[in-house]
Structure 1
C-alpha cells in the first residue's frame, strides 16, 4: 500500500519536461554538434544500461542538433555495452529539408586509460508530427488483452521482471497474464510479450519517451524458455504520431530464433487506440 501511495503521489507531480526521465536524458551542449551526458544507473538491466533509454538519450541530442524536433525513424547499432557514468554524444547533420531532416549521432564513453569507446551509433530522420496528414488507412488493430487492473506487475507478489534491474523502479508495467508463464517456470513457448506501459512517476508519453517504450518490456526470449540478458544488436523505431495522455499498450512478438539471434517486433498503442510507434530489433539470444 505504501508503494502504491508513493507511486500515486509521484504521478501527480511528474510532467513532460519535468520528470526523472527528462532529467536523466538531459544533454549539455559543449560545442557545436557535441553534447555531454550522464548515463544514470537508474536505467540499468543487470549490469548494462537499457537500450531504449540510450536511444532516447541520443534522440534528445539529435532533436537539439536538427532543425526538426520530432523523431520519425531512428536506427541504432549497439556496438558495446554502456555503463552508468559520463558520456559524450557527437552529432552530425546529414541533410536538411523543408519537412524532414536527417542526422547521425554516436555515444562514447571512456576506458580506464582515457581513450574513447563508441557504445552506440544512430542514423535518424526527424520531422514535425503535428504537421502530418489525418488520412489513416490501416488494418492494424490494438492487441486484445485484459484491462490494466487484471494484468500483473512487480507489486503483485513475486517480481515479474527478474534480475538486478533498477529500471523496474522507474517503469509502471502490467503484463498480460498469458505472457508471464516464464515467471512461474512455465513459459508458453510462443515468443510473445504484451502489457500496459507507463513511467512510474506518472509522466505522460511523448515522441521521445516512445523510444524507451519499444525496448522496455521483458524480452520475448523469456516466453521461449530462455533466461538471461538479451543484448540488442540493432534496433529501428518508427514514431507514427504524438501519443495521447494515458497508459500505452505494447505488444512484442518473435517469430524466428536461429543461429543464436532473434528478432522482436513491437507495436505501441496510445489511450486513443492509435498506433503511435513500431520497432524491430535484432538481439542475441540469452546464453544461460
Structure 2
C-alpha cells in the first residue's frame, strides 16, 4: 500500500503557491528609489503581437501594492497608450491620497526605444484597501454564469483554430471554454458577443486579488464570436475587486452588447469556487480590423 500511495503522490503535479509561481516571478518589481520600480516584461505573457493587458495590469498593481499603505486593489482603472513589448520597463508610482481604510495612487509604465526615447505604455489610477476588513453583508441579484462542468469544456488541446502570432500566454493559463462560446474556433461564430469559461493558472497557483487583474482580460475576446479575428487592443480597462477569492478554479463570463464605430465594450464577471462574485470589469477595446 505504501508503494501505491507513493506512486499516486508522484503522479500528482506540484501546485505552485501564491508568492512562488511563474505569475509571481513575472510580475515582480524591484524598488530602485522611492516611487520608482524596475520590471521585466516576460515574453511568456504575449498574445498575437503584444504583452497581455491583464498581465500588465497585475504588474502595475503589484507596484502600487508596495507603494501604498494598503495592499489589496479595490478598483484599478488603466489607459493603454501604446503596445508593450517584452523586455525592461520602469514603473513610476505616486501616492495621491491616504486614509484610514482606503488609499489612492497612480502609476505609469514606460519603456525605452533603441535611441533612448522614453515611451509611456500604460497609466493607472487605483484605490487600495483591506479586503479582509470588508463587512460580510451581500445583497445582490447577480448569479454565477451557467457553464458546463470543467471536464465538458474545451481547452487549447481540443483543436481551436490557430491564431497568427504569439500564443505564449496559453501555456501559462488553464482555460476551459464553454462549448457554446467556441463556434469561432471551427469557423462558425455564434454572432453573440459572449465568452465563458473556467480559469486557472497552469501551475495550479490559487487566485488572489492581484491575479484577478489578469483574470478579467485572459479569455479570448468576445469579438471572435462576433466573427472577427485578430488583435483586439484594449483602450481602457477598469476592474473592481469585490472580495478575496477562495482557492480553486474561477468562472469567467464576458459579454459585449455594442460594437460601433470600430470599438466594442467587454463586461466581465469573475466568480470563485464559493459562488461569490469576486471581480468585475469593463473595458473599451478596438475591434479587429479586416
Could you state the TM-score of these two structures normalised by the residue count of structure 2?
A: 0.95
Partner of 2:250: 248
Deviations along 1:115-156, one digit per CA (max 9) or x if unpaired, are 210000000000000000000000000000200000000122
* Cα drift, residue 161 of structure 1: 6.7
Structure 1 residue 258 and structure 2 residue 260: aligned? yes
Tell me which of 131, 134, 138 is aligned to 2:133.
131
Measured in 2, the distance between the counterparts of 1:176 and 1:45 equals: 21
Deviations along 1:60-105, one digit per CA (max 9) or x if unpaired, are 0000000000000000000000000000000000000000000000
Measured in 2, the distance between the counterparts of 1:66 and 1:122 equals: 14
**1:154 and 1:160 in contact (8 A); partners too:** no
Measured in 2, the distance between the counterparts of 1:250 and 1:82 equals: 25
Q: Which moved more, 1:8-17 or 1:239-248?
A: 8-17
For residue 16 of structure 1, give the secondary structure of its aligned residue in structure 2.
coil
**1:239 and 1:277 in contact (8 A); partners too:** yes
Aligned ranges for residues 24-173 of structure 1 at < 5 Å? 24-156=26-158, 158-159=159-160, 162-163=163-164, 164-173=166-175
Measured in 2, the distance between the counterparts of 1:97 and 1:162 equals: 46
Aligned ranges for residues 201-220 of structure 1 at < 5 Å? 201-220=203-222
Q: Which moved more, 1:189-198 or 1:158-167?
A: 158-167
Partner of 2:284: 282
Could you state the TM-score of these two structures normalised by the residue count of structure 1?
A: 0.95
For residue 278 of structure 2, give the secondary structure of its aligned residue in structure 1.
strand
Measured in 2, the distance between the counterparts of 1:110 and 1:10 equals: 43
**2:26 and 2:41 in contact (8 A); partners too:** yes
**2:161 and 2:186 in contact (8 A); partners too:** no
Change (3 A) 1:51 1:98: same
**1:11 and 1:200 in contact (8 A); partners too:** no
Structure 1 unaligned blocks of 5 or more: 1-7
Figure out how many residues of one structure are paired with residues of the other and give that number: 280
For residue 159 of structure 1, give the secondary structure of its aligned residue in structure 2.
coil
